A and B are shown apart, each in its own frame.
Chain A
Amino acid sequence: MWQYTLKRLLQGVITVWFIATATFLAMHSVPGDPISGERAATEAIRANLAARYGLDKPLGEQYVIYIGNFLKGDFGISFTQQNRQVNDIIREHFPVSATLGILAVLFAALGGVLWGALTAIYRNRLPDTIIMFLVILGISVPSFVFAALGQLALVNINNFFGVSILPVAGWGTVSHMIVPALVLGMGTMAYLTRLMRSSMLEIIHSDYVRTAKAKGLPAERIFLKHQLRNAILPVVTVLGPAIAAITTGGFVVELVFAIPGLGRYFVQAVQQLDYTVIMGTTVFYGSFLVFMVILVDLLYGWIDPRVRVQ
């Protein structure tokens, strides 16, 4: 298991290096130099940047400087905001995105497992039909539509009751987080519900559940000890991609709900073509996702003895 962990971490480091390099190359294949373009920053920033990144030097040297800075954990400074460090931006805004993301992942995973198990047990009966209809909708509706509809619903609910039940936008208190997290997790929850349902159906008809019944175990015990644990395994394997989907989905949810997270900042930087912020946040997000996937793999190894023991 330790060897496996180490191997996965090493793979992760190589992947992050690859992401950093690909980002660097992508950014430097912009025709002309990004700073002297028409969207150029002020003279002061330009001088600062040129000195910092050695923009007059050949590409190879720039790459070495870039990787060096990256290894030191320095993502550079903003193009559009003078003297603003990308590190500071990440430090300030990422916790907000992370809080929202964790809530959404929790909501999606718990909801997916719960609804999936429920629909499998009530297969082809009313609860199954209703939930699976909603799931098909959930898979087909883009995250920004959920976000917009969520906000629209909030406005109407607040108007209907004449008081603000939950805030429509912004960040700060728990009440600000509820609806954005629900909205953000919705699509992933629908996907996980579907996965959990088919996994659960397979297990309901498995030989070992029949054995458990032949042993005369009560239904609750069969459900908890024999069905649920095994049915969750495939759900855990897709948590990595699910976290990635929720992270990028966070961009639009933060935008719609005016949440000061890194996602919204990233989208704004993209719209303003703030190259260093884009590069920094891309590499940061990329590394984050790579290590989340590794974390999920390790978690899977921990709950599946077949992986753990070997």
Chain B
Amino acid sequence: MSAPLLEVQNLHVEFDTYGGTVRAVRGVDFKVEAGRTLAIVGESGCGKSVTVQAMMGLIPMPPGRIMQGSAKLRGVEILGRKTIEGREVRGAEIGMIFQDPMSSLNPTMTIGDQIAEPLIVHRGYSRSKAWARALELLKLVRIPEAEKRAKQYPFEFSGGMLQRAMIAMAISCKPTVLIADEPTTALDVTIQAQILDLLKDLQNETGMALILITHDLGVVARMADDVAVMYAGQIVESGSVDDVFYRSSHPYTLGLKLAMPNNDPGRHDTLQPIEGSPPDLFSPPVGCAYAARCPHSMRVCEARSPEQFDVAPRHYSRCWLHHAQSPHRADGLFLGGGNE
């Protein structure tokens, strides 16, 4: 087991809005190791994008605010810093790609120029050298006719092609961590698979860590080594993909799984939506944020915010059901049984 490449601890992020202060991220911890893929899963608005954007310093401040917490890359704090060990954090150490490639690229700049830009800025390449490297990168992400394509503008590309160009741009400086924020959400299903394969291949070639943010459990199953499930600004369950999927130990994870379509021919049960909606993060509940929707909720769930319990080695859950005194603890619903 290698030391974590990137470690985030107790991250709190708030936003001031007209309606009041939104506590978007409320104490998030996770670790990523080199060469591995961490998937952060959760529904819209749970704070998964805010978490990584806060880490990257992409949150507009104001209205955003990082209240506390730390993010360490190879043991060096990166929160609020632009460079560590002489290297730029953003764009060089950590690359990032976004959900909607169409709006995430500058409409009035050629694709080639946009890919070459980090090389010129971070590596001090000349324009021609950067351009040559940009062509190589375009070939690397399997864009045909790279020479011609590099001179084109984003509006001349298809969505899948643009996402490839985004990836080329993000890996141009050989980052050690690549963050992909819902990279396939805006794309067709067939293109999604291609992009995911490309990410996997690039990861295998370069050994970089990948943080994949998604709400699609199918993508998680396909890509991830480790999973962190987020709900209402907190990570409610984390562990290896097998632990979280097959030994789900948080009612929310279980709810997500039951709500997911399954093409297993032996299964005939209907999809079960999670009733209700996430809590208002203007005034998060005192207790467990999921308590109101949870079929297993207990008195303590409303009164106290659950601590993080070890379910198994490297498998954690934030649910009172795992408390030593909990009478429901051993009923086997979460611990390996009940599902699949």
> B-contacting residues of A (Cβ < 8 Å)?
205-208, 210-218, 221, 225-226, 229-230, 233, 303-306, 309
Contact = CB atoms under 8 A, between A and B. Distances in A.
Given A208-B103, A217-B91, A230 B117 contact: no
Nearest to B172: A215
Given A216-B89, A216-B122, A217-B118, A306 B56 contact: no
A218 B118 CA distance: 10
Contacts of A303: 108
Contact of A230 (B88, B89, B91, B106): B106
Interface residues of B, number: 31
A66 to B, nearest CB: 46
Contacts of A207: 98, 100, 103-104
A68 to B, nearest CB: 46
A216 B91 contact: yes
B157 interface: no
A309 B88 CA distance: 35
20 contacts: A207-B100, A208-B104, A208-B105, A210-B58, A210-B98, A211-B166, A213-B57, A214-B95, A214-B170, A215-B90, A215-B118, A217-B117, A217-B121, A221-B117, A225-B106, A226-B106, A226-B109, A229-B108, A233-B108, A303-B108
B151 to A, nearest CB: 10
Interface in B57-96: 57-58, 60, 82, 88-92, 95-96
Nearest to A217: B121
Contact of A216 (B107, B109, B121, B166): B121
Interface of B: 56-58, 60, 82, 88-92, 95-96, 98, 100, 103-109, 117-118, 121-122, 153, 155-156, 166, 169-170
B107 A306 contact: yes
A161 to B, nearest CB: 45
Given A214-B91, A221-B121, 19 more contacts: A208-B103, A208-B105, A210-B58, A210-B98, A211-B169, A213-B57, A213-B58, A214-B56, A214-B95, A215-B91, A216-B82, A216-B89, A216-B122, A217-B117, A217-B118, A217-B121, A225-B117, A233-B108, A304-B108
A214 B90 contact: yes
Closest 7 CB pairs of A and B: A216-B91, A216-B90, A215-B91, A207-B103, A214-B96, A216-B88, A207-B104
A303 B89 CA distance: 33
A309 B92 CA distance: 33
Contacts of A218: 121
Contact of B104 (A205, A210, A229, A304): A210
Contact of A208 (B107, B118, B156): B107
B114 to A, nearest CB: 8
Contact of B90 (A205, A208, A213, A221): A213
